[in-house]
């Protein structure tokens, strides 16, 4: 497997950022790590090995980015507005720096990556796709939370106005702009959760997201797995293989 590591100083984030690339060809996937995770976690936690057949065969090419969660949503010393502001810096980094890098690396100037992640990475995958459907072609997300007014983030309903446009269940439910809705209807949306341990809130948010998609006539595969399916890597291996097998048909 071809593996590369790249780093550069990000003007958007005002610090060095790194990423890893796995594969030589295929549909580009930009992968966001779990909460406060790192760009090498997809490899370190075994996912790259679990989906290696799709990488080695040139069906997908994986770009694993770093996170700034500890500086944004998990920096409880900041106000909600400042945490949101730091995430917006990250948004500019991903869209304005990483995506052009991916297009250059793939030698395809208009290619639109898929977004992907598990747990907190799933939140980022869905949020980035929904905010930038002209940049990304779709999303595959496993076991994510899709609202920020949760105890996990130390935020409540009173904080929602400050983070509204990065809380998918909030802004998507109120979205009426035809351009966005039509972009979503042309995209590829796969969102999964289990009914097992530690996935209860992810299950709730996934089902709510599915209801919103259905109400807005947005095709989406909302895939709910069984009561034995926990919020853990072994199940995410299986879910990713299930999705990638479907994508390759």
pLDDT at 246 over 90: no
Mean pLDDT across 206-219: 97
pTM for the model stands at 0.97
pLDDT at 248 over 80: no
Contact assessment for residue 43 and residue 22, using Cβ atoms and an 8 Å cutoff: yes
Q: How many residues does the chain have?
A: 249
What pLDDT is attached to residue 124? Answer: 98
Tell me the pLDDT tens digit for each residue of 66-110.
999 999 999 999 999 999 999 999 999 999 999 999 999 999 999
Domains of the chain: 3-248 (3.40.50.1820)
Tell me the pLDDT tens digit for each residue of 107-136.
999 999 999 999 999 999 999 999 999 999
* Percent of all residues in the chain with a pLDDT value above 90, rounded to a whole number: 98
Closest CA to 127 of 88, 185, 174: 88
pLDDT at 249 over 90: no
CB neighbour list of residue 70: distance below 8 Å, 6 or more residues apart? 36
Mean pLDDT across 180-192: 97
What pLDDT is attached to residue 247? Answer: 81
What pLDDT is attached to residue 150? Answer: 94
Tell me the pLDDT tens digit for each residue of 163-174.
999 999 999 999
Token pair 């949306």: residue: 189
**Distance (Å, whole) CA 19 – CA 94:** 11
What is the arrangement of strands in the sheet containing 60-65, beginning at the earlier edge strand? 3-10, 15-22, 60-65, 27-32, 114-118, 138-142, 188-193, 221-224
Mean pLDDT across 212-239: 96
What pLDDT is attached to residue 31? Answer: 98
Closest CA to 85 of 14, 171, 156: 14
């Amino acid at each position: 497997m071809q593996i590369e590591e790249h780093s550069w100083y990000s003007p958007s984030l005002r610090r060095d950022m790194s990423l890893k690339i796995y594969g030589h060809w295929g549909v580009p996937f930009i992968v966001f790590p779990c909460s406060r995770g790192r760009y090498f976690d997809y490899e370190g936690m075994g996912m790259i090995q679990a989906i290696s057949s799709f990488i080695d065969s040139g069906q997908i090419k994986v770009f694993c980015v770093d996170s700034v969660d500890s500086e944004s949503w998990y920096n409880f010393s900041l106000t909600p507005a400042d945490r949101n502001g730091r995430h917006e810096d990250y948004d500019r980094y991903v869209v304005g720096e990483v995506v052009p890098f991916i297009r250059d690396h793939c030698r395809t100037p208009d290619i639109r990556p898929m977004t992907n992640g598990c747990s907190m990475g799933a939140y980022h995958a869905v949020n980035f796709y929904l905010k930038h459907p002209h940049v990304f072609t779709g999303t595959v997300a496993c076991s994510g939370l899709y609202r920020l007014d949760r105890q996990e983030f130390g935020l409540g309903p009173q904080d929602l106005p400050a983070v509204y446009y990065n809380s998918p269940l909030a802004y998507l439910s109120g979205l009426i702009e035809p351009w966005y809705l039509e972009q979503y209807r042309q995209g590829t949306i796969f969102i999964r959760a289990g009914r097992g341990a530690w996935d209860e809130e992810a299950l709730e948010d996934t089902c709510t997201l599915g209801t919103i998609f259905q109400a807005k006539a947005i095709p989406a595969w909302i895939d709910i797995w069984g009561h034995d399916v926990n919020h853990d890597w072994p199940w995410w291996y299986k879910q990713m293989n299930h999705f990638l097998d479907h994508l390759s048909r």
